[in-house]
Amino acid sequence: MSTPSAPDADADRRYTFTVFTPTYNRARTLSRVYQSLCAQTFRDFEWLVIDDGSTDRTEELVRAWQAEAPFRIRYLWQENQGLNVAFNRGVQEAQGELFLQLDSDDACVPQALERFKYHWDAIPDVKRPQFSAVTALCMDQHGRLVGTRFPQDVTDSDYLETRYKFKVKGEKWGFHCTSVLRHFPFPTMEGCIPEGVIWAGIASNFKTRFVNELLRIYWAGESDYPDQLSKSGAPAHHAPGCALWHKSVLNGHIDWLSYAPEEFLRSALHFSRFSFHLGVSLRRQAASLTNFRARALWALMLPAGLAAHRRDRR
């Protein structure tokens, strides 16, 4: 993989932000996003909606909004292929310098884009090429913090350090530079690919500015919605992506082992579990782990991984 371009390298930029919404049969909640965008105090953005094969009134709603919205709305429909494919297409279609995903059942505060732009501009010009993102906090529909805060009100770090060293948990929300995301697409394989695969790759090249501001409204307690963009299914369906994620943890994150040993033990278990679903032999599993510590953890957790695989099959 070539070295990613500087964050401001997009020659086809037309907007500061592309607000990207992947959706699948969410006509009943999509108005939250639209109303949030109508209320934004910062107006230099486009709204890019990738419809992943909806069969409800989604297109009808978005077409009506296109005719009245005070900002540009682009609507693209595709056959149902899942979130990862929709995300990759959104990144390629984006005409904004900064790419911000806002899910089809969520909302944001009126100052969200303004605050993101403020924090991005606050990074000194000489340091900004080292950064790809600004990430903020989420609250639920009742105004309560979701997850935990960052160590400081402004923390310059990366995905791996905040995950393992600072123990930051829960839903977060932020943008990445579109030009950077184009260098780190989701792998194309069956099932859902955990987002951490992408964020960890970016973390090895760029920093993120994390800010303790509540900017996204995350609707909790609505898991009864049956129409999920991330396709559900048996563990075997998600085995390719899950095996890839846990292998990347063991191979690429292992220097953080002392900060979160329980997480690495869990990944060792699940790496073998999902590898068995894929028919990967013990020899090939061991060979795919690139360091001694990873292989030792895998061997230690192998009986538990095999037991989990057998439970899945039952």
| Mean pLDDT of all residues in 21-30 | 96
Residue-wise pLDDT for 165-205, tens only, equals: 999 999 999 999 999 999 999 988 777 788 999 999 999 99
| Mean pLDDT of all residues in 196-224 | 89
Domain boundaries, the chain: 15-218, 236-313
What pLDDT sits at residue 2? 46
Number of Cβ atoms within 10 Å of the Cβ of 292: 9
What pLDDT sits at residue 1? 43
What pLDDT sits at residue 229? 54
Phi-psi region of 137 (alpha: psi -120 to 50; beta: other; left: phi over 0): beta
Q: What is the pTM of this model?
A: 0.91
Which backbone phi and psi does 54 adopt, to 5 degrees? -60, 150
Residue-wise pLDDT for 41-60, tens only, equals: 999 999 999 999 999 999 99
What pLDDT sits at residue 147? 96
Fold of 15-218: Spore Coat Polysaccharide Biosynthesis Protein SpsA; Chain A (3.90.550)
